[in-house]
Amino acid sequence: MCLIGGHRVMKAVRASNLIDSNDVDPEHDHLLNMYTGRLSRYYHRRLDMALQAAPDLTDKTVLQLGSGNAVFSLTLLRDAKGVYAVEISRSKIDDGLDILDRTGASTDHLSIIHADGTRMPMQDDAVDVAFALDTLEHIPNERRAVEELRRVLSNEGRLIISAPLELGFPIIYRDIYRLMTGRRQNSKSISEYISAAAKRPPVDNPTEHRGYDYRQTIEFCRNEFSNVSVEYCPFDPLKWINPTSIISADC
């Protein structure tokens, strides 16, 4: 944490400072591209904005839904009193444990839970802050996941979500990036691409990023939470031209 102009500015742990990209297994190529490669500045900016939307974590118990490769877990383990990391993929849990081991992170206050985000084996009101970063677009029953997040949060809790913009202008450069990196494209046909570019979800039941609409996520949050607000990453003044939204909400 640092102070700029008297304001608290939180910075996420930089994986690129802890991990030598030459030592990362090629199977972790997405990690290389995101957090130790040329695009790491954008991805770390996204983590910074999510962190700045949260309260001071010093005395807080925190949930990370979709902990994945554990890059953000490094920050939560540094700052929070206790961390629950929930991940449905066993292979990603293994990847995350590998990253934590490589960086020498203390995991004494970390609980890793292999579970579905719509049915977390946790008590009601168990955590003070919940993060779901680039996660809800991968959960088929997104509404149920938001309800579950509300259940495990305390009555004074706060939820922070990062969600991709897969509609409008961002779909163009998102698919260009996917094409350049050899990953699957969001749109499966020209008609789907046109619908997404026109901000009309091209499918009724989104799968992964395909057809995902962050505006629906906002509505789900408004049904369960109060004070729902949205920022855009990396340059908030550009609003929906950005590739990512940061959604925060209070219980």
Contact 80, 13 (CB under 8 A): no
Q: How high is the mean pLDDT of the chain?
A: 83
pLDDT per position as a tens digit, 178-236: 666 665 555 556 666 666 666 676 556 555 666 688 999 999 999 999 999 999 998 88
Q: How far apart are CA 107 and CA 78, in angstroms?
A: 10
Q: For residue 50, give both structure tokens.
A: 């999510």
Amino acid 99: pLDDT: 84
Q: Kindly tell me if the per-residue pLDDT of 3 is higher than 50.
A: no
pLDDT per position as a tens digit, 109-132: 999 999 999 999 999 999 999 999
Amino acid 51: pLDDT: 95
| Amino acid symbol at 80 | A
pTM beyond 0.95: the answer is no
pLDDT per position as a tens digit, 123-174: 999 999 999 999 999 998 999 999 999 999 999 999 999 998 877 777 776 6
Amino acid 18: pLDDT: 74
Beta strand pairing status for 2-4 and 7-9? Answer: antiparallel
CA distances 129 to 45, 104, 158, 210, 228, Å, are 20, 25, 5, 28, 15
Contact 61, 110 (CB under 8 A): no
What band does 1 get if pLDDT is binned at 50, 70 and 90? very low
pLDDT per position as a tens digit, 31-50: 656 776 667 788 889 999 99
Q: For residue 155, give both structure tokens.
A: 């009555």
Q: For residue 23, give both structure tokens.
A: 């030592």
Domains parsed from the chain with CATH numbers: 2-166+212-250 (3.40.50.150)
Please, which residues bridge with residue 248 across strands? 160, 229
Contact 18, 77 (CB under 8 A): no
Q: How far apart are CA 147 and CA 142, in angstroms?
A: 9
pLDDT per position as a tens digit, 48-83: 999 999 999 999 999 999 998 888 999 999 999 999
User: What is the rounded radius of gyration, in angstroms, for the C-alpha atoms of the chain?
Assistant: 17
Any residues with CB less than 8 A from the CB of 31 and at least 6 apart, and which?
A: 15, 24, 69, 71, 95, 99
